Amino acid sequence: MGHVVTVWNRTAEKCDLFIQEGARLGRTPAEVVSMCDITFSCVSDPKAARDLVMGPSGVLQGIRPGKCYVEMSTVDPETITELSQVITSRGGRFLEAPVAGSQQLSNEGMLVIVAAGDRTVYEDCSSCFMAMGKTSFFLGEAGNAARMMLILNMVQGSFMATIAEGLTLAQATGQSQQTFLDILCQGQMASTFVDQKCQNILQGNFKPDYYLKHIQKDLRLAISMGDNANHPTPMAAAANEVYKRAKALDQSDNDISAVYRAYIH
């Protein structure tokens, strides 16, 4: 969409497709930041997000006054606060912008972007966000987007576990899983999410669209956020145990729908 793009990845070969499409390659995170006005980061967890910024040849080495850094990883509010402070202490401008959506929606440029932090960075990112997503929200001070995204993913993860529980209970009680799905999809709970995930389960297709290990990380962070707010999260806690069971069954790198397998072992 007309942007000059420079890429770097911890797994170097993941850059190859982007280079073929015309992107430039940065040798380190610091080099990417030095070459670009706005740098976007999207990694798997809080530790990776911190390492990328504060590690050797990290983002901080390339930050100069006026440079924009946008953290798109789903992490906890404390990590966002820490990253915001270190980036702005070097004169950088900081925005958090985690995304709701799957790999497929990402490929189609249909993500939902939830942003917070420096409003002027949010405005400067508008053409970039249009390239990645279908809509974006601005939620005020840094940390708010992390909180909102953890709540959204907590609900999605808990819902997926409940759907898997229903499918397996249908099977255990001699009911047709396909008929269960057909009835579900004619009612008020009908959604592309339910239909797609259930069809994949019935076909035994657990190719990752959203990694199971990542939703379990988000559930864990959401539960911790509940602890900090002294707010009960019993449904998320129950779902988290099921995902932990699925991880113990080597489902970490499968799709979140592979939580189904925790119920059939």
Domain encompassing residue 85? 6-141
Q: 64 with 108, same domain?
A: yes
**Does 235 fall in a domain?**
yes
- The pLDDT tens digits for 180-220 are 999 999 999 999 999 999 999 999 999 999 999 999 999 99
Q: Provide the number of structural domains found in the chain.
A: 2
Three-state DSSP state, 65: coil
- The pLDDT tens digits for 29-66 are 999 999 999 999 999 999 999 999 999 999 999 999 99
- Joined together, the tokens standing for residue 154 give 């907590």
Determine the pLDDT at residue 65. 97
Identify the domain boundary among 93, 112, 141: 141
Percentage of the chain exceeding pLDDT 90? 97
Q: 13 with 83, same domain?
A: yes
**Does 238 fall in a domain?**
yes
Determine the pLDDT at residue 1. 85
125: confidence class by pLDDT, cuts 50, 70, 90: very high
Identify the domain boundary among 141, 162, 193: 141
Q: 109 with 159, same domain?
A: no
265 pLDDT above the threshold of 80? no
Determine the pLDDT at residue 109. 93
**Does 252 fall in a domain?**
yes
- The pLDDT tens digits for 152-187 are 999 999 999 999 999 999 999 999 999 999 999 999
Identify the domain boundary among 119, 141, 163: 141
Task: Write the DSSP symbol of residue 252.
Answer: T
Q: 127 with 179, same domain?
A: no
Rounded to 5 degrees, φ, ψ at 155 are -65, -45
Q: Which single residue is written with the structure tokens 């942007």?
A: 3
- Joined together, the tokens standing for residue 125 give 């990112």
CATH of the domain at 116: 3.40.50.720
In whole angstroms, give the CA distance from residue 55 to residue 61: 9
The mean predicted confidence, pLDDT, of the chain is 96
Determine the pLDDT at residue 103. 87
In whole angstroms, give the CA distance from residue 188 to residue 44: 33
Q: 24 with 111, same domain?
A: yes
- Strand duo 133-138 + 111-117: pairing: parallel
> Could you give the C-alpha distances from 49 to 144, 200, 208, in angstroms and in order?
17, 31, 22
Q: How many helices (H) and strands (E) would you count in the chain? A: 13, 8
- The pLDDT tens digits for 232-257 are 999 999 999 999 999 999 999 999 99
Is 94:115 a contact under the CB 8 Å cutoff? Answer: no
**Does 1 fall in a domain?**
no
